[in-house]
Amino acid sequence: MTPPLDVLVFYSPVESTEDVLAAVFAAGAGAVGDYTECAWLVEGSGRFRPGPGADPAIGIVGELERLPEHRVEVTLPRSGRARVVAALRAAHPYEEPAFHVIETADPA
């Protein structure tokens, strides 16, 4: 039986995406059957305003920042969720990376 999968969706500055992907792949994400390093990416525009107390890697506290970002989706075994999310947080350049994990239906 195939183990249950989750989908990790995260947003990354375009120039950092390959490094973040390498980290989540090394942690066990991105395998689909006999394929590895599988991901779906689309480029868009991210925006944020760092608030008081923030230590932004990009941008200035109080100023609105806009930059090209990728929305990235990768699958991962549900049992590896904590490990993959920890790898994402460690490799991502943002102080607070935006991401979500979608729990898929269990395989029949």
List Cα–Cα distances, 41 to 23, 55, 70, 103, in angstroms.
16, 27, 6, 19
Structure confidence at residue 1 (pLDDT) = 66
- Give dist(CA 54, CA 60) in Å, integer: 9
pTM reported for the whole predicted model: 0.91
| Predicted confidence (pLDDT) per residue in 24-44, tens digit | 999 999 998 899 999 999 999
pLDDT tens profile 85-102? 999 999 999 999 999 999
Q: What is the spatial distance between Cα 80 and Cα 70, in angstroms, rounded to a whole number?
A: 23
